[in-house]
Amino acid sequence: MKGFRPVYLLLIGPFAGTLVPALYNRAQPTLWGMPFFYWYQLAWVLVTAVLLGIVAYATRERHDA
C-alpha cells in the first residue's frame, strides 16, 4: 500500500524543531557543561531516531504466509 499515511506527520516535528537556528543559537542553559546549541541538536537526533522507528514500523509491508 503506497501513498500518504497520517503517521508521516510525525516527521514534521524534527524538521520544524531544527528549521530556524535563531531559536536555539545560544549557550545557556547548559547540560553537563554542554551548551544549549549542542544538546538541543543532539536531543533532536535521538527523538528523530525514535520517530523514524515508529514510522518504519507503522508503514512496513506485511507478508503473512
pLDDT one-digit tens code per residue, 32-65: 999 999 999 999 999 999 999 999 999 887 766 5
Residue 49: inside a domain, yes or no?
yes
Q: Which residue has the cell 545557556?
A: 28
DSSP string, 9-64: GGGHHHHHHTT-GGGT----S-BTTB-HHHHHHHHHHHHHHHHHHHHHHHHPPP--
What pLDDT score does 3 carry? Answer: 73
pLDDT at 53: 95
pLDDT tens track for 7-39: 999 999 999 999 988 888 888 998 899 999 999
- Number of domains within the chain: 1
Provide the residue range defining the domain that includes 35: 6-59
- pLDDT at 1 > cutoff 60: no
**Residue 26 lies inside a defined structural domain of this protein:** yes
